[in-house]
Amino acid sequence: MGSRIAAFRFCAAFNSSPAIRHALQARVSAVLTQFQLGAACNALHPVEARLARWRLHLRDRIGHDVLLLTQEALAQNTRLGDDRR
């Protein structure tokens, strides 16, 4: 569940609260780590492993095993269309 806050109020809260600053920095670090792992996975693993990782990640996000996807969506989200292996 998300909320909205004016940018100036967020900046003020960020600057005045070590707890908010720490929480945001931890989240940014976690997201960057995910991106790095994804890039490494895409560079080092074959198509089947990348697809399996992406499907498990999607399953975790939606909370069930039924994934209604087109081949185009799979290709876009796993970069299978660019695979040269």
Q: Is the pTM of this model over 0.75?
A: no
Q: What is the pLDDT of residue 41?
A: 78
User: In which band, very low, low, confident or very high, does the pLDDT at 81 lie, cut at 50, 70 and 90?
Assistant: low
Distance, CA of 72 to CA of 76 (rounded, Å):
6
Q: What is the mean pLDDT of residues 47-75?
A: 84
Q: What is the pLDDT of residue 31?
A: 95
Residue with tokens 């799979």: 74
Q: What is the pLDDT of residue 85?
A: 45
3-state secondary structure of 9: helix
Distance, CA of 62 to CA of 83 (rounded, Å):
27
pLDDT in tens, 4-56: 999 999 999 999 999 999 999 999 999 999 889 888 877 888 888 888 888 88
